[in-house]
Amino acid sequence: MQTLREELYSIVGEDRVTDNLLERILYSHDLAPIPPEVLTLFKTLPDAVVRPTNAKEIAELIKYARKKKIPVIPRGAASWAYGGATPVKGGIVLDLTGMNKIIEIDKQEMTVTVETGINWKKLLEELEKKNLFFPVYPTSAPSATVGGWICTGGLGIGSLKYGQLKENVVEIEVVTPTGEIVQVPNKPNYKLDWFFGSEGTLGIITKATLRIHPEPEVFSPHAICFNDTEQMCNAVSKILKDSTKIYFIKFTDEGYLDIRRSLGLFAPKAAACALFVFEGSKKTVRKDLEKFHSIIKKMDCSELDAEKSHEEWDERFHPMRIKRAGPTLLAGDVLVPVSKLYEFFERLWKLKEKFNLKMGIEGTVVSRDSTVVMPMFLSDERKRWKYLTAMPAIKEITDLALKIGGKPYGGFGIWNSFYLDKVYSNLEIRKMKERKKKLDPDNIMNPGKLYRVQTKFRVPLTAKTYNFFMFLLKILRRFD
Ligand SMILES: Cc1cc2nc3c(=O)[nH]c(=O)nc-3n(C[C@H](O)[C@H](O)[C@H](O)COP(=O)(O)OP(=O)(O)OC[C@H]3O[C@@H](n4cnc5c(N)ncnc54)[C@H](O)[C@@H]3O)c2cc1C
């Protein structure tokens, strides 16, 4: 009888398959380490890892996996920390980062078509060489793939002006869970919308066509330091209300600046800092800046010089630079209304005191009325007890956001799936589950997540069980 490895060899060739234990261990987790105590619930070690090169190969693999009822887990750069690319009951991990070509740049239609394993930074750099520009990308652009971002969040740098990723995507190619290769939205009865946030559960996205723009004449970043955090929150609100189309705003609190300084990195002495970035033609940016400065000059704040502001703009790809101080970060990621930003800061500071942890807050404004806030607690996974008992702090961040009209950001995977009913209505969840069943009748595409977490013991991990364990850990923290 042929082994799994031999059967996969016959589909993609020997040099694209591995069942070597060491390599499989590397593919058994994403960016976030899972404590061994939790690991026992899942079979995160894949049975094999395959590095496909084209959609046809993937379609053959899917047909094979379907026949054998083997789970298939698509994986980009694994920079999403919710367990999306982590197997929960073994199976075949598909490493898509080898499918990273730019297929076509169409200057007539102003589109670029790419293989989805390409990372955002490489794509942006290639476009820049041709004086072209794709305006929205995640801050994880140096590693995150186009496919990974379609399947997860889709809000990031540039969203404030250009909207979500889905508003900037024209077409995608998908290998369906039955092994068909389809072009969406051209395929009847398929909607482009379904695949944004599908987390690898509805098929494998192999190509994407994105709408591009001529490179803007100017990028003008302005780093502002505030003596008071509430003032910074007010300034953000006011600029959003009064200013024209600003491209990007990010902000940090004093805790974040202090941690940076402790690492010998540049950080101004301030209660909070925000970076405001304008782009466009020289004329429009000049006008925008006049308005911007007329608002800012009435506030208790100071502006860094142009060189420092540009450095801050270059730092946009490294929101987790403070990790070194951990050396582990326990981070939350939540959507919070702009109007509640300061209240959220206050609640987070109390949470930090309660858990007696060092915390830095980083956030970006992603639309006229919402921000993505990422509070990061310094932790050390080697100190098992302390690390485990700090975990409820992450749950509390999400609970706090929900209390003030926010919600978890960036999808569900394993660790956010307990909040599915806080984000979607029962009707929406029913429709999502029906769609999954229809497209993937054998439940082979990234099973055991998003809709319902499955453990290797075939017992689901429910929100009740999760909440109970978090409660227990919180009690145990008192004995620390
Ligand atoms: C420092 C840092 C900054 C970040 N900034 C942002 C941000 O600004 N905005 C934001 O939204 N997120 C952000 N993230 C989260 C994460 O980086 C993004 O969600 C990213 O797009 C994930 O891409 P990836 O290639 O790493 O996907 P992976 O982590 O490999 O996969 C994510 C999910 O998508 C599925 N998947 C991956 N590729 C495919 C494919 N081709 N077809 C089908 N399914 C697929 C996987 O199965 C998994 O469920 C950040 C993370 C870090 C660490």
Residue corresponding to tokens 């769609």: 435
Residue 153, pLDDT score: 81
Ligand 1 pocket, 392 CB below 6 A? no
Shared domain check, 205 and 222: no
List b or e across 447-480, with b for residues whose CB sees 16 or more CB atoms inside 10 angstroms: bbbbbebbbeeeeebeeeebeebbeebbeebeee
Ligand 1 pocket, 142 CB below 6 A? no
Ligand 1 pocket, 135 CB below 6 A? no
Ligand 1 pocket, 78 CB below 6 A? yes
CA 449 to centroid of ligand 1, rounded, Å: 15
Backbone angles phi, psi at 12, to 5 degrees: -115, -5
Give pLDDT < 50 ranges for the chain.
none
CA 17 to centroid of ligand 1, rounded, Å: 23
Q: Looking at the 3D structure of the chain, how many domains does it have?
A: 2
Ligand 1 pocket, 332 CB below 6 A? no
Is residue 239, in this structure, part of any structural domain at all? yes
pLDDT in tens, 45-80: 999 999 999 999 999 999 999 999 999 999 999 999
Q: What is the largest CA-CA distance in the chain?
A: 77
- Residue located nearest, by CA, to atom 52 of ligand 1: 140
Is residue 22, in this structure, part of any structural domain at all? no
| Sign (positive or negative) of CA dihedral 296, 301, 307, 313 | negative
Residue 270, pLDDT score: 96
List b or e across 9-29, with b for residues whose CB sees 16 or more CB atoms inside 10 angstroms: bebbeeebbbeeeeebeebbb
Ligand 1 pocket, 202 CB below 6 A? no
Q: How far apart are CA 203 and CA 184, in angstroms?
A: 12
Label the pairing between strands 169-175 and 218-226: unpaired
Ligand 1 pocket, 75 CB below 6 A? yes
Ligand 1 pocket, 321 CB below 6 A? no
Q: How far apart are CA 356 and CA 389, in angstroms?
A: 11
List b or e across 322-343, with b for residues whose CB sees 16 or more CB atoms inside 10 angstroms: bbebbebbbbbbbbbbbebbbb
Residue 1, pLDDT score: 66
Q: How far apart are CA 266 and CA 258, in angstroms?
A: 10
Q: In Å, what is the CA distance from 147 to each residue of 119, 143, 197?
A: 9, 12, 10
DSSP for 47-68 reads SEEE---SHHHHHHHHHHHHHH
Q: Which atom, in ligand 1's list, is nearest to the CA of 206?
A: 41
Ligand 1 pocket, 85 CB below 6 A? yes
Shared domain check, 199 and 301: no
Ligand 1 pocket, 100 CB below 6 A? no
User: Which of these, 217, 221, 215, 219, lies nearest to 307 by C-alpha position?
Assistant: 221
Residue 2, pLDDT score: 78
- Residue located nearest, by CA, to atom 8 of ligand 1: 138
Shared domain check, 206 and 108: yes
Residue 214, pLDDT score: 98
Q: Which atom, in ligand 1's list, is nearest to the CA of 149?
A: 21
Is residue 112, in this structure, part of any structural domain at all? yes
Q: How far apart are CA 215 and CA 453, in angstroms?
A: 43
Q: In Å, what is the CA distance from 263 to each residue of 257, 266, 388?
A: 10, 9, 25
Q: Which atom, in ligand 1's list, is nearest to the CA of 119?
A: 25
| Sign (positive or negative) of CA dihedral 36, 41, 42, 43 | positive
- Residue 296's domain is classified under what CATH number? 3.30.70.3450
* Domain end marker among 214, 244, 268: 214
Shared domain check, 164 and 222: no
CA 179 to centroid of ligand 1, rounded, Å: 23
CA 144 to centroid of ligand 1, rounded, Å: 6
Residue 281, pLDDT score: 96
Shared domain check, 172 and 157: yes
Q: Which residues form the domain of 284?
A: 217-318
Q: Which atom, in ligand 1's list, is nearest to the CA of 31?
A: 53
* Domain end marker among 162, 191, 214: 214
Under a CB-based contact definition with an 8 Å cutoff, are residues 116 and 145 in contact? yes
* Domain end marker among 278, 295, 318: 318
Ligand 1 pocket, 86 CB below 6 A? no
